[in-house]
């Protein structure tokens, strides 16, 4: 069975600081992994996805994530936080050949001026 664990329900950083949002997954088959962002009262927008090509995946808005099979992790990073990055971030997993995408509980990112 697939599952996703996001470490830390809230993360607070200063503007210009490194953003690191943690995600660990569980999957019995090679996974597809995703990060989505959600702004208040909106749906989820895809930031980036891993589909077994390069292990370092670059996404929109300067975000990137690295797939580490040995650690079953897919952490999201951004070198320099902007105020506009404040939002809820969700890590998700889907099994290759499957159709269901399972989401983590989310991490709310706060950016301080």
Partner 1 sequence: DTGVSQDPRHKITKRGQNVTFRCDPISEHNRLYWYRQTLGQGPEFLTYFQNEAQLEKSRLLSDRFSAERPKGSFSTLEIQRTEQGDSAMYLCASSPNTESGNTIYFGEGSWLTVV
Which residues would be at the binding site for partner 1 (CB under 8 A)?
A: 4, 9, 32, 34, 36, 41-46, 49, 51, 90, 92, 94, 96, 98-106
CB atoms within 10 A of CB 91: 29
The least CB distance from residue 56 to partner 1, in Å, is 16
Would you call 81 helix, strand, or coil by DSSP? coil
77 or 101: whose CB is closer to partner 1? 101
Token code pair at residue 33: 């992994």
Token code pair at residue 80: 């320099």
The least CB distance from residue 95 to partner 1, in Å, is 8
9 or 80: whose CB is closer to partner 1? 9
Contact 113, 46 (CB under 8 A): no
């Amino acid at each position: 069975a697939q599952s996703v664990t996001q470490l830390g329900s809230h993360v607070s950083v200063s503007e210009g600081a490194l953003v690191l949002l943690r995600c660990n997954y569980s999957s019995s088959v090679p996974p597809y992994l995703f990060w989505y962002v959600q702004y208040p009262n909106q749906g989820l927008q895809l930031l980036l996805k891993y589909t077994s090509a390069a292990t370092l995946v670059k996404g929109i808005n300067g975000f990137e994530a690295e797939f580490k099979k040995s650690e079953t992790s897919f952490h999201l990073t951004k070198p320099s936080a902007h105020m506009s990055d404040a939002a809820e971030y969700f890590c998700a997993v889907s099994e290759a050949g499957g159709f269901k995408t399972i989401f983590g509980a989310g991490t709310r990112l706060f950016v301080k001026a």
